Structures are given as structure tokens and as C-alpha cells.
Amino acid sequence: MNSKTPSGERIAKTIARAGLASRRDAEKMILAGRVRVNGAVITSPALNVTQKDQIKVDGTLLKEPDHARLWLYHKPSGLVTSDRDEKGRRTIYDEMPKDLPRVMSVGRLDLNSEGLLLLTNDGAIKRQLELPATGWLRRYRVRINGRPSEDSFAPLRAGLRIGAERFQPMSVTLDRQQGANAWLTIGLREGKTAKFGARSKL
């Protein structure tokens, strides 16, 4: 049995790096018989290709992948961080310039959140920045209902376990108390969902 890893990279990844589609959508194109490699139709994404291979999608020659890039994007409230939404809500991609190449968000901000969002055209950069092991600190300004004390922040700073889910320690600072609401700055180093909002209490 030949245990050597085939040279090149998976065909779906090559199509995604060329900016034509996401890797998942590229696999669907392949399964639908829309992709040819060296003149032959392929119907399985389990194929490695190199720069020597000629790849056509819907009869059009696949272009060379663009160099890896990052964009800074200020996401406004009211947009979904997704390329499509099952509820028909507007997404960040509906607001992108038409001449922008296909980009992916690094992490996400929820519908009612706003702030800095990184976009990239390179899946490897996206995965690297999203890994908890990478340790990038994400800071969020959060409004909560209540009058929290320093003691109430201790569980967050120590790390939480909710059911089977383990959350890493967070940095938490109280910025100001305004009536019944408090404004916090919370720093996270992982991309799990943490639900804080106007009805959260500490």
C-alpha cells in the first residue's frame, strides 16, 4: 500500500483559493459535474491537483489565486455575519463593494453587535486567526443590567464551565455604571458563543 501523501492540494481548496466559491460550495460544484481537470469531468472532491493541472469550472478556466489579503471592516448593527441567511435578513456581504473579491469573515459578530471585523480572501489565514491556540485577544464593549461588583467578575476571570462546555478565563473591567446599566469591556481568546446583553445580570 502506498502511504505517501499525494502532491498538491485538494481540488475544492484550489477552487476556493481562486475566489470562485467557498470550499463547501466548490465540493457541491464537483459533485454536480461542473468541474473538469485536464479535460475530464470529476465527480469527487477527493482529488489533489497541482499548478500543472488545467482546471475548468462551467467551461471557464480557473484563474490564478490572488495573494493573501486582509481587510478591516466596521460591521454596523442589523447585519448578519454570513454569506447567506435562512431568514432573508441582510448580511454584511450585501453591503460590500461589488468589485471586492470573495472574502470570508474571521469570526463573527452577531446581528445586534457592531465593531471591527477582519475579512480575508485566504482560508488558511481565517483558520489560523480563529484557533483558540493562536491566542488573539478580542475585546467587546458590553452593556448589562445590574450593578456588578469586582467579586461578581471572579468566575469570568477564572474561567467557566457551563454544562459540558468549558470557557477560558476572560479579562473583565467595569468601564462605568449608568443608572441600572453597567458598561464592561470583556476580552476573549476563543470564538465560542457568549451571551451578554441588556437582560444579563451579574
Active site residues: 110
Give residues with Cβ within 8 angstroms of 43, minimum separation 6. Answer: 30, 31, 33
Buried b (16+ CB within 10 A) or exposed e, 146-181: eebeeeebeebeeeeeeeeeebeebebebeeeeeee
Decide if 55 contacts 35 (C-beta within 8 A).
yes
26 exposure class (CB count in 10 Å sphere: 0-12, 13-18, 19+):
buried
Cα–Cα distance, 126 to 129 (Å, whole number): 5
Strands 160-162 and 138-145: unpaired
Which is it for strands 171-178 and 181-188: parallel, antiparallel or unpaired? antiparallel
Cα(190)–Cα(168) distance, integer angstroms: 7
Helix (H) or strand (E) holding 189: none
Phi/psi for 30 (5° steps) reads: -65, -45
